[in-house]
Amino acid sequence: MLLPLPAALDTQTTLVPTGAVTTAPYLDQRQPIGKRVEDLLRRMTLDDKIGQMTQAERGAMAPDPSQVASLRLGSVLSGGGSVPTPNTPAAWVAMVNQFQAYALSTPLKIPMIYGIDAVHGHGNVYGATVFPHNVGLGASRDPDLVERVYRATAAEVRATGIPWDFAPCVCVSRDERWGRAYESFAEDPSLVIRLETAIDGLQDGGVLATVKHYAGDGDTEYGSAAGDYTIDQGITVTSRADFARIDLAPYSAAIRKHDAGSVMPSFSSVDWTEDGVGNPTKMHASRELIAGTLKRDLGFDGLVISDWEGIHQIPDPSAPPGTPLPTATQVRVGVNAGIDMFMEPNTAARFEEVLRGEVASGGVPLSRIDDAVRRILRTKFELGLFEHPYASAANAGQVGSAAHRAVAREAVAESQVLLKNAGRALPLRKSAKIYVAGRNADDIGNQAGGWTIDWQGRSGAAIPGTTILQAIRQVAPQATFSVDGTAPTGGADVGVVVVGETPYAEGFGDVGGPSCGWCTPPQAEPKSLTLQPGDRAVVDRVCAAVPTCVVLLVSGRPQVITDQLGEIDALVASWLPGSEGSGVADVLFGKRPFTGRLPVSWPATVDQVPINVGDPNYQPLFPYGWGLRTGGRGSGLDGLRDAAQARVISGHGGLTWRSDLAEADRAQTSGDNLRAYRLLRKVIAG
């Protein structure tokens, strides 16, 4: 993995240490990286090595940034919502460079690497371009677009001095009740693999990618999680064969095809059916899957970074459920499992102390320490951090640039999935008298979702950008708006109702899980797969009052709306589009065609969940791959799919049309065009 040096680096700032080490081979960029790594490694003390394996959070370091030097830290990160003041690109660069200066004040002057979760654009930074979350990109089915989205993300991340992104999530989400479902591209591994061009976008842009969460985090069983969570961080109960086919497949492609530079283990556990269910192993403790499958079998030569305090969830198998192991045992198990760097946001000093003790006692062999540090140093050499450790504020204009917002607008348009279009309700006429309603029509925070400024996201004016209402009014200035739909419709030709979810992240989005009382504003409504009563009322109210009713669902996952479908003329899955609401207006008014297709199965009832393509008795409301097209029929297999969907809408298609359409989509994604053709012809024949 050799990453290009991007323009966002200050190429005038070169590390030239003083003293006797100036002629050391590790400082000579003409030398092969392997030689540089070995030369530096032999000069390092145990404290140097353990420091390189440690990552701390900026908030813990900010009161005394000299800790970066005293702890010999290999890395610093920003957690979700952890930002400098003011939250500007220049302030980010200054902060990162300050931490870097302390790292370079150590005897060997090893640069630290800064990391961040930029999962749908550089969402921590005010004014950054906020792209659709991955579920929306999955609906686009466009690998080139996904690569450009992540290339733009890399440019904005690098412009703030950061060379490491904890993205993309390549999980296969198999249960929509999961609070991280929107971070997944799809429920089928073939589509996730197809969109792993995200890795190329980041790494070709000079940012180290992190594929996560290894592995099975999207395949956990509902009710298996600890604490208040219901599914996030739970247990994947599966055979090794199914795990390899569904959950591991994206990692194999990420490593062998895209050369992903880092991997993050999942908080979740795996429980092998062939070993007897009831003996789950935390991924952070799985030597079989990290040292064995990942490093030995897949040949992964990058670094493995733990998740946030991930090793501290490793339980004591001999104690009551949820009882953690002693800290020393957790550290020993995690290091020996194959984790190379440890995200210890607030306890870096304690982690280093414990690891020193484990090495001294022989619990962790020095060879394992050296292997971890080799991987970390190699990554830093490949990123060019030894030659160019500091960032420049000169590239602040990359953040939220017009060019990046244009890419985001395109991504939003391609992500929209037209689920129903009775009487050709869409596209809208610009001259139509339009009545807009719904709480998500003019709320850019809801439109962006979680991982936006704050970890959990926030409703309201969270970021600059264009709401869906503003975008509609840019095309049709005469459009009126009533958030709850109680204002008179005034003889409107069409109603556009925009409803759905409010922001959440991780386990706080689990259906039946906890609400975030400390969020701003506090999360009040319970998370579910059905619309909230107020949203349902707006749909009923507006659809009863206008000749044509269009409903847009702004959400991170399907919303069960079967009982209201009859009153809706056009239904659109808008997902979480981000800052560029104009992309929604582009398809509503026909500037661009609807081309998006479902990356997940849309359940008819809550009781159907989990439901996935390939399941027996597959009867969702809308199958995987469903998506109506406007602007004319597509060509080739896309055109045949259009014909098959039209056949179904007309009342034909046979008893198995849902599974046939879904399997055709999966076959096409996997490259089996002949099977896709045969299945689509079967639907058309009815």
Q: pLDDT tens digits for 365-404?
A: 999 999 999 999 999 999 999 999 999 999 999 999 999 9
- Please state the rounded mean pLDDT for residues 239-258: 99
The pairing of strands 570-575 and 417-421 is antiparallel
3 state SS of 437: strand
- Average pLDDT of the residues in 528-533: 97
User: What's the mean per-residue pLDDT of the chain?
Assistant: 96
Cα separation, 504 vs 456, in Å, equals 5
Please indicate, yes or no, whether residues 367 and 505 belong to a single structural domain of this protein: no
Beta bridge partners of 570: 421, 550
| Interval 451-465: pLDDT, tens | 999 999 999 999 999
What is the pLDDT at residue 1? 64
Residues 197 and 168: their CA atoms lie apart, in Å, by 10
Q: Are 55 and 74 in contact (CB under 8 A)?
A: yes
Q: How confident is the model at residue 42 (pLDDT cuts 50, 70, 90)?
A: very high
- Distance, CA of 498 to CA of 571 (rounded, Å): 10
CATH code at 381? 3.20.20.300
Whether residue 11 lies inside any domain: the answer is: no
Give the span between the Cα atoms of 78 and 454, in whole angstroms.
Answer: 11
pLDDT of residue 109: 98
Q: Dihedral, CA atoms, 524, 530, 533, 536, nearest 10 degrees?
A: 140
Q: Is residue 208 located within the same domain as residue 288?
A: yes
Residues 6+ apart with CB under 8 A from 360: none
Verify cis geometry, omega within 30 degrees of 0, for the bond prior to 215: yes
Residue 236: beta bridge partners?
A: 270
The token pair that represents 134 in the structure block: 């991955």
User: Is there a single domain that holds both residue 341 and residue 481?
Assistant: no
Closest CA to 600 of 70, 94, 135: 135
Known catalytic residue: 506?
Answer: yes
Instruction: Give me the pLDDT at residue 5, please.
Output: 46
Give a yes or no: residue 6 inside a domain.
no
Q: How many CA atoms lie within 13 A of 46 on its CB side?
A: 14
Count the domains in the chain.
3
Q: What is the pLDDT of residue 523?
A: 81
595: domain CATH number is 3.40.50.1700
Residue 150 has pLDDT above 90, yes or no: yes
Q: In degrees rounded to 5, what are phi and psi of residue 269?
A: -120, 160
Is 662 found in the same domain as 583?
no
Give the residue with greater pLDDT, 317 vs 25: 25
**Can you tell me whether residue 68 is helix, strand or coil?**
helix
For 545-598, the pLDDT digits (tens) are 999 999 999 999 999 999 999 999 999 999 999 999 999 999 999 999 999 999
Structure tokens at 458: 């926030």
| Interatomic CA distance for residues 92 and 157, integer angstroms | 10
Quote the pLDDT of residue 18. Answer: 40
The predicted pLDDT at position 518 comes to 84
What local confidence, expressed as pLDDT, does residue 4 receive?
A: 55
- Whether residues 495 and 614 share a domain: the answer is no
Pairwise pLDDT comparison (17 vs 594), residue with the higher score: 594
Average pLDDT of the residues in 7-19 = 43
Confidence of residue 217 (pLDDT cuts 50, 70, 90): very high
Q: Please report where in the chains the tokens 């604490």 appear, as a residue.
A: 227
Given 358, 410, 443, 506, the catalytic residue:
506
Separation between Cα atoms, residue 458 and residue 446, nearest integer Å: 7
Considering only residues 386 and 22, tell me which one the structure prediction assigns the higher pLDDT.
Answer: 386
Ranked by mean pLDDT, the top range of 158-172, 522-536, 639-653 is: 158-172
For residues 523-531, average pLDDT: 91
Q: Return the axis-axis angle of helices 673-685 and 636-649, rounded to nearest 10°.
A: 30
Residue 4, domain member (yes or no): no
Question: Assign residue 10 a region: left if phi > 0, alpha if psi is -120 to 50, beta otherwise?
Answer: beta
Q: What range does the domain containing 393 cover?
A: 20-397
Residue 172 vs residue 518, higher pLDDT = 172
Final residue in a domain of this structure, among 583, 600, 617: 600
- Among 600, 621, 640, give the residue marking a domain's end: 600
Q: Are residues 350 and 457 in the same domain?
A: no
The answer, yes or no, to whether residue 17 has pLDDT greater than 60, is no
Tell me the torsion sign for CA atoms 624, 437, 631, 145: negative
Asked whether residue 487 carries a pLDDT value surpassing 70, the answer given is yes
- Is 3 a domain residue? no
Amino acid at 523: Q
- 548 lies in a domain? yes
For residues 580 and 412, the answer to whether their CB atoms sit within 8 Å is: yes
Distance, in Å, from the CA atom of 576 to the CA atom of 563, rounded to the nearest integer, reads 23
Are 568 and 644 members of one domain? Answer: no
- Give pLDDT, residue 13: 46
Name the amino acid, one letter, at 390.
Y
Q: Report how far residue 421's alpha carbon sits from residue 434's, in angstroms, rounded to the nearest whole number.
A: 17
Confidence label for 654 from pLDDT (cuts 50, 70 and 90):
confident
DSSP state of 169: B
Q: Are residues 585 and 673 in the same domain?
A: no
Within a domain: 403: no
Using DSSP's 3-state secondary structure scheme, residue 587 falls into helix
Instruction: Give the residue among 82, 184, 167, 75 at the shortest CA–CA distance from 117.
Output: 167
pLDDT tier at 638 (50, 70, 90 boundaries)? very high
Cα(99)–Cα(55) distance, integer angstroms: 12
Q: Which amino acid is at 646?
A: A
Assess whether 572 and 635 both reside in one domain.
no
Average pLDDT over residues 440-460: 98
DSSP 8-state assignment for residue 528: -
Kindly tell me if the per-residue pLDDT of 8 is higher than 60.
no
**Rounded (10°) angle between helices 143-159 and 402-415:** 150
Q: Which residue out of 156, 217, 247, 307 is catalytically annotated?
A: 307
Q: Is 2 within a domain?
A: no
Mutual angle of helices 673-685 and 657-669, in 10-degree steps = 160
**Cβ atoms of 527 and 228 closer than 8 Å:** no
Say if residue 272 is in the same domain as residue 166: yes
- The CA angle 9-14-17, to the nearest 5 degrees, is 145
Task: Tell me which of 573, 600, 627 is where a domain ends.
Answer: 600
In the predicted structure, residue 22 carries a pLDDT above the cut 70 = no
Q: Which position has the token pair 């492609």?
A: 253
**Bigger pLDDT: 297 vs 523:** 297
Of the chain, the percentage scoring pLDDT greater than 70 comes to 97
Asked if pLDDT for residue 444 goes beyond 90, the answer is yes
List residues bridging with 554 in a β-sheet: 500, 575
> Residue 425: inside a domain, yes or no?
yes
Same domain, 431 and 326: no
Other CB atoms within 10 Å distance of the CB of residue 295: 20
- Burial-class residue 94 by CB neighbours within 10 Å (0-12, 13-18, 19+): middle
Whether pTM > 0.85 for this model: the answer is yes
Q: Is 276 left (phi over 0), alpha (psi -120 to 50) or beta?
A: left
- Half-sphere exposure of residue 575, counting CA atoms within 13 Å on the CB side? 35
Same domain, 458 and 484: yes
Residue 501 has pLDDT above 50, yes or no: yes
